Amino acid sequence: MENARLSAWKGLTILSLLVLPVLLSSCEDPGSVGSSFTQNDGEVSIDTVQVEGIESEQLNSYSGQLPFLSPGRFDDPLFGEVEIISLLRPSIASATSEDEMEEDANMKLRLFVNNDLTYGDSTASATYDLFELDQTWRGGEWKLSDEPTIMENAQVGSFSVDEEDSIDVTLEGDWVDEYREFFNSEETDKDSLYRAQFPGLAVVPSNAAKLSPIDMDSSRVIIENEEDTLEYTFRDGANSLTRENEADVPGDTRTVHNTLEEVLSFEMDLTEENIGSLDVSRVELVFYEDNETLSNTISEVSGPAQRTPYDAASLFLAEPGDLPSAVDPGDPLGDEAEYRESDHSFRFNITEIVKQNMVDGIPEDQQFYLRLQSNDGTLRSSLFHTEDAPEGKKPILIVTSVKNENSSN
């Protein structure tokens, strides 16, 4: 009898081994079946939240040792009469170098102009004079509104920029002799003495045609000796800007310059109550450019004038006391926003900053700042719509989230 029961148990084992794999082999293939009466547990929601309190913040930023120098003058019907005088200081041979600048050597500046970044009439001829400066300066300490002291009776050279991308400018006069002394000096601290005592050059526009961005990485100082030719980079450079007679901008816009003369400042309530849900997938901050005003005003200029193009903007969160270094270079929130030509908008992905602050919100002593492009020595300006703009142009947050009965609204 026990043997028969044991056989039955063996049969049970075999039966289980056969049946279980059959049931399991059907696997899982969960689909949308039943979703018609379970969908209230959460739904994707795309909402817009207004951004308000947009103001302009005027900053005096550092303008030296940047990738570009943009000397020139241009009368912009919207952004005013702009003039940039650029400061230059060529490099010299190091104390250990065997390079020598001969007494009768020719000295030239080979300037590479990026015509794509021209501000003004790119076909016009912009003329410039080079003068000796009557002051010492350091690029790292020079600010955009600082005024250089120019020895107008000590002209070192002149040049004009048409549509070419490279210009050789011959330098002459006492300034060249002073430079040669520093270049050939055998003093071990010649570099320090050079920076402290040698004033460099001022590139002063002599007509109002355009601002010509000079690429400082590519441009060179050329010293032509009788037997050889030496090439040196620039030791220092800076821009000094004056702006006058700006037009009144439309009341629903604010001006933004990449030079930080004006940046946008605003506060945003990123708490769950304002965003609408804890469970966000993407939060996009959208600003619209007033392209109509920009186009209409630049078209008032005779000739094929253009403003220096831009294609990005950056967002910062900082305390006002930390300006301007907090936004230049600062620590941008996420990636910069790329300009969308089709609707003239900048779209910032601020999902992470929302997630990090949705419980406690943004600290009261901090605000958001929007900077156009980067402060790279060019001059780029734009108009951004504020909350007073018509629907479709107001700055907004586009919040994509999952909401349920427990969401805040």
Binding residues for other proteins, per CB under 8 A? Answer: 1-13, 15-17, 19-20, 23-24, 26-44, 46, 278-282, 340, 342-343, 349, 351-352, 355-356, 358-359, 398, 400-402, 404-406, 408
If phi over 0 gives left and psi between -120 and 50 gives alpha, with beta otherwise, what is residue 69?
Answer: beta
Task: Using alpha carbons, select from 49, 262, 256 the residue that is nearest to residue 144.
Answer: 262
Nearer of residues 251 and 392 to other proteins, judged by Cβ: 392
| Nearest distance, CB of residue 67 and other proteins, angstroms | 30
Cis geometry, peptide bond prior to residue 324 (ω within 30 degrees of 0)? yes
Give the residue with the Cβ less far from other proteins, 174 or 331: 331
For residues 231 and 185, give the distance between their C-alpha atoms in angstroms, rounded to a whole number: 18
Identity of the residue, 33 or 217, whose beta carbon is nearer to other proteins in the bound complex: 33
Conformation bin of residue 250: beta by default, left when phi > 0, alpha when psi is -120 to 50: beta
Strands (E), 248-324: 253-257, 263-266, 280-288, 305-306, 312-318
CB of 31 to other proteins, least distance (A): 4
Length of the chain in terms of residues written: 409
Query: Which CB sits closer to other proteins, 24 or 321?
Result: 24
One-letter identity of residue 54:
I
Give start and end residues of each alpha helix (H) in 246-338.
Answer: 272-275, 291-298
**Nearest to other proteins of 62, 339 (CB atom):** 339
The residue among 21 and 251 lying less far from other proteins, judged by its C-beta, is 21
By beta-carbon proximity to other proteins, the closer residue of 164 and 292 is: 292
Least distance CB 281 / other proteins (angstroms): 5
Nearest distance, CB of residue 284 and other proteins, angstroms: 9
Structure tokens at 391: 């629907």
Give 138 or 282: the residue with its C-beta nearer to other proteins: 282
Based on CB atoms, which residue is closest to other proteins, 3 or 153? 3
Give the position of tokens 């967002």.
Answer: 315
Closest distance of CB 345 from other proteins, Å: 9
Shortest Å distance, C-beta 268 to other proteins: 17
Tell me the three state secondary structure of residue 28: coil
CB of 395 to other proteins, least distance (A): 15
DSSP for 168-184 reads EEEE-SHHHHHHHHHHH
Count the neighbouring beta carbons within 10 Å of the beta carbon of residue 138: 13
Alpha carbon separation from 213 to 66, 295, 403 (Å, rounded): 11, 22, 51
From CA 15, how far away is CA 322, in angstroms rounded? Answer: 76
Give the shortest CB-368-to-other proteins separation in angstroms.
20
Q: How far apart are CA 407 and CA 361, in angstroms?
A: 17
Q: How far is the CB of 224 from other proteins (least distance, A)?
A: 55
User: Which residues are CB-neighbours of 296 under 8 A, at least 6 positions away?
Assistant: none
